[in-house]
Amino acid sequence: MSFDFQWQAEIPPIFQSVEFDGPFQKCLICNREFYHDDHSPYVIEKIFVRAEAIVEMAVCLNCLMEMNGEMSEESSLTVKNEFEKKVDWSHRASLMPSIANAPNSLEGDEEDPSSEVVAPQPNVERWIESCLLDGTPRQDCRNYQICGLFLGNQIVLGQLPYVLSGTAVARIGEKLSKKTRDQMGDFLETYFGMPPELCSPSGPVPVLF
Ligand SMILES: [Zn+2]
C-alpha cells in the first residue's frame, strides 16, 4: 500500500462514528487524538451487516503497522496476493480529477468569495460504490466492510478508501491461518466484546490492508 496525500475531501457520513455520533476523535488503541496531537494519518474501518455497523474503529497508522506486523508472514502474503490478483489499481487512479487541474492546496481562504477557485472535486462515492475485489455493488451486499485513510478532518483519496463485500472477506478469511483468525477474534473480543454476528466461522473478519 502506498500513500499519496495529494487528494483529500470532506469525510463522507458513512465514515462517521455511530457510537460517538460524529467524527472519530482518537485512536482505539493508543488514544492519540486525531485533531490535536501531531495530525498523524489514521485508518477507519467499519463492518456492516445489512445497514447496521456492527464494528467500527479508528486506528492511527503507527498502531495499524504494529497490528499488521503481528500477522504471520503466511497470512500477510495471502491478503497481499488476493489484492494483487483482483484489484485494478489503475481504475482507482482514473477516479481522480485530472492531475493537471490539481489544486495546490485545499486549504484556501473560503471566506473570501473573490479568492474562491473552483477546483475539480473528486467524487468520494465512486471509491466506495462497489467491492474492490469482486465488484459487487455495495447496495447489493448483505455484509460488507469499508476502510479509509484520513488526515485530521479529511479523507485521503488514492488506493483507499474501499469496500469489501462480505463474500470477498469470507474468501480471504478461509485462506488465513487459524492463528491469524484467532488473533483477529481476540482483537475484536478485547475492544468490542464479540458481536454475535462474528462468532460463526464464516463470520466477517476485519481485513485492514
Ligand atoms: Zn494509535
Parse the chain into domains and list their residue ranges: 7-97+121-198
Q: Is the pLDDT of residue 125 over 70?
A: yes
| Ligand 1 centroid – CA 44 distance (Å) | 12
| Ligand 1 centroid – CA 65 distance (Å) | 10
pLDDT of residue 2: 59
| Ligand 1 centroid – CA 97 distance (Å) | 32
**Can you tell me the distance from the alpha carbon of 72 to that of 133, in angstroms, rounded to the nearest whole number?**
22
The pair phi, psi for residue 123, each rounded to 5°, is -95, 100
| Ligand 1 centroid – CA 96 distance (Å) | 29
Grid cell, residue 100, equals 493537471
| Ligand 1 centroid – CA 67 distance (Å) | 10
| Ligand 1 centroid – CA 99 distance (Å) | 32
Q: Is the dihedral of CA 4, 46, 69, 201 positive or negative?
A: negative
pLDDT of residue 31: 94
Residue pair 188/206 in contact (Cβ under 8 Å)? The answer is yes
AA identity, residue 40: S
| Ligand 1 centroid – CA 207 distance (Å) | 17
| Ligand 1 centroid – CA 24 distance (Å) | 13
pLDDT of residue 101: 46
| Ligand 1 centroid – CA 31 distance (Å) | 6
What pLDDT digit, counting tens, does each position of 39-90 carry?
Answer: 789 999 999 988 899 889 999 999 998 988 888 888 888 888 989 999 988 8
pLDDT of residue 33: 92
pTM of the shown model: 0.83
| Ligand 1 centroid – CA 68 distance (Å) | 13
Grid cell, residue 121, equals 472535486
What pLDDT digit, counting tens, does each position of 152-207 carry?
Answer: 999 999 999 999 999 998 888 888 888 888 888 888 888 887 665 665 555 555 55
CA 125 to chain centre: 13
